Each structure stands twice: as structure tokens, then as C-alpha cells.
Amino acid sequence: MNQVKPKPAASRSSVAAKRAPSSAVRSRLKLVELLLEVSRQMAAYDSLDDVLRALVEMTTTALGAERGTLFLNDEQTNELYSRVAQGNIKREIRLLNTSGIAGYVFTSGESVLIADPYSDPRFNRSVDEQTGFVTRNILCAPIRTVKGEIIGVAQTLNKVTGVFSKHDLTVLEAMTTQGTLALQSAVFIERMHAVRKQEM
């Protein structure tokens, strides 16, 4: 009779390797956790400034960047404006919604990763010149409503360690999308307050 040889027992390391999630799965899980945190934090605010500030701080921290800015479109003036910008910028920034990297992203609807802004003809140097800040690299993504309308752009500047990656751009896009509903609600509430003030 032929005896069936028992299969060798799998080593603990090979079993553990099968159980451990791959780096791609871990990356996805980390992103899901991050998006849940965005939703949780956004739900705590109702004023536009608070929502803007929280979203900028979260994206900057998550991407390991020096600064972030979130621009909204002013339909009356065709300008992108930012009431929240990190660093030594204390006033509202306004620029034409066709100007610079932000203007390009707003009008084209295309996210961009710029490794060397000063060699890119779309880059608007005026803010750097006014503030003394030097932009080394940029991530910029459109802010879209559920209906697909672009209402602004999110911009993250200067990776602290290394350079921005395509994965970083994906994270910025996902976080921005996640925060859009709270952003729209805050914009709507602010407009309603403004209308009531005018009526009174």
C-alpha cells in the first residue's frame, strides 16, 4: 500500500504573511479611516470659516505639507478667494479664476501635481512675492459638488519630507470630496444670514 505523506506544517511566518494585509490594502484602510475622520470633524462645524480652517488643517497634516489654502469661486466677480490660508497671510487672497495654478485647475477641472512651480508658465508668483514664502511644489485639486459643479480648489504646498506623489494627490482629492457637503452647507447658511441682514 502506498502511504500518503502528510503535508509539512506551514511555518508561523508564512501563516502570518497570509493573514497580514498587503500594503495596498493597508493604504486603502488608512484612507478610509482618514475620510471618516474628515466627516466626523466637518459635522462639528456650521460656520464657513470653521469648515474651511478644519479642512485646510486636515489636508496639510495628512499630506505632511508646510501650508494649505482653500479657494472658493466668487460668481459675481469671477475671482477665487481664500479666507483661510496658513502662514503669515492675514488678509483674504483674491485672484481671477483663470489665473495661476488654482485658476487652471478651476477652469479645466483637472487635478495637478507640480514638482517645480517656478518653471511652470501657469504659476502666479505674486503671492510668493508679497509674502516672502517660496513655493517648492504644489498639489491642487478641484472642489466638486455632488452634481459635479466646481465651486473652488484645494491647494497644498511644499511637502516637508521628499516630494508629493500621485498617491498624495489621490488623498487630497478624496479628502476634498469628503468635505464638500459640509462646505456647501456652510456656504448656504452664510448666504442665508447675509440675505436676512439685507432684509432687516
Q: 14 lies in a domain?
A: no
**CA–CA distance, 80 with 71 (Å, rounded to integer):** 6
Domain count for the chain: 1
Where residue 84 sits, what CATH number does that domain have?
3.30.450.40
Q: Which residue has the cell 506623489?
A: 165
Confidence of residue 158 (pLDDT cuts 50, 70, 90): very high
For residue 9, pLDDT beyond 90: no
CB-neighbour burial class of residue 101 (10 A; exposed 0-12, middle 13-18, buried 19+): buried
Q: Which domain holds residue 116?
A: 47-199
Per-residue pLDDT at 119 exceeds 50: yes
Is residue 19 in some structural domain? no
Is 99 inside any structural domain?
A: yes
Give the residue-averaged pLDDT of 140-158: 92
Q: Note the pLDDT of residue 15.
A: 47
Whether 88 has a pLDDT exceeding 70, the answer reads no
> How many CA atoms, within 13 angstroms, populate the side-chain half-sphere of residue 182?
23
Please give the angle made by the CA atoms of 47, 41 and 145, to the nearest 5 degrees: 65
pLDDT for 54: 85
In a domain, 60, yes or no: yes
Could you give the 3-state DSSP secondary structure of residue 82?
strand
Sign for the pseudo-dihedral over CA of 119, 120, 126, 127: negative
All residues at 6 or more sequence positions from 53 whose CB lies less than 8 Å from its CB, including other chains:
84
102 within some domain: yes
